[in-house]
Amino acid sequence: MNLLFAGHSAFDTVLQNDEKKYSPGGIYYNVIGVTGCSTSEDNISILTGIDDKYKWFAPLYDRYDRSLSPEIKSGVRVELTIHPDKEREERYLAMPEPLPLPENERLTNFDGILFNFISGNDFKLEDIKRVRAEYKGIMYADLHTLTRGMDEQGRRYFRKLPSRQEWLNCFDIIQVNDTELESIKIFPAQSESIREILSAGVKVLIVTYGAKGAAVYYRKNEEVEYSFISIKRISTRGCVGCGDIFGAFFFYYYVLNGNVFSALEEATVVSENFASIESGKSIDFIINKLKRE
């Protein structure tokens, strides 16, 4: 398969349990995920910004085609505060310009494109709409920070997604967590909102519920069907990157066989495994831990 992973990379300062550490982030975690499930027959490409922090990303990104990735002055700089019992806090210290999307003829060979809105400013709506108008492959979106606004101090907050319908019309598969789902709902009842979202052209809606598990919603014979898988192990470490690992596996297996059930199972199991890995492990240790039998 030919797959493209697109979105900002981030250099994160993570604050958790009175400790501070620095780590590469953003679509870096998607690329970790696809490295764990892809084979030598797959062609993986990355569309992200290359800046002065690239040495943190190079051991992973240098394995793949980066010809669509532009050089930028500064990438995303984020301070993440992880809480054990509520949504993490994000404060942006630097926000780059949207990434340029190539002309459609450079995208036609990809079987699928995963867009991860790491900063919320990753791509312009008009560029995404232009790709959707002609691109025939699967377009997957992790809405992530697209669902958040930003105050003058760089702190992110949830809000209703501007131009909601136009964004939803662009994607075959949309991934959100249960909090982000509120940003794209237009009805108080979740079931009614999910039905409406799936009538907008979205084929599959994925909702992750943290330690509880994940669900997929899709239409079958004009009815909304869903499948839910619970988490069997509870992580003792932070969940930074778990949703991105989940998304990479779901995307890979869905493009591979079009089966939402097997994609959900693979994604849930592997994100659970990722959450169990102790911090400080090497990138190759993590990738080997994620590989499926």
113-170 pLDDT per residue, tens: 999 999 999 999 999 999 999 999 999 999 999 999 999 999 989 999 999 999 999 9
- Cα separation, 109 vs 121, whole angstroms: 26
Long-range contact list for 160-168, CB < 8 A, 24+ apart?
Answer: 160/184, 163/125, 165/200, 166/125, 166/129, 167/125, 167/128, 167/141, 167/143, 168/197, 168/200, 168/201, 168/202
Q: Which pLDDT score, from 0 to 100, does residue 236 have?
A: 43
**Which residues on neighbouring strands pair with residue 65, listed in sequence order?**
45
Q: Which pLDDT score, from 0 to 100, does residue 277 have?
A: 78
- Cα separation, 43 vs 59, whole angstroms: 17
Q: What stretches in the chain show pLDDT beneath 70?
A: 232-239, 292-293
Domains of the chain: 2-290 (3.40.1190.20)
Contact predicate 144/167, CB 8 Å: no
The C-alpha angle 16, 116, 286, rounded to 5 degrees, equals 55
- Cα separation, 120 vs 234, whole angstroms: 29
**Which residues on neighbouring strands pair with residue 229, listed in sequence order?**
214
- Cα separation, 37 vs 19, whole angstroms: 32
Q: Which pLDDT score, from 0 to 100, does residue 293 have?
A: 58
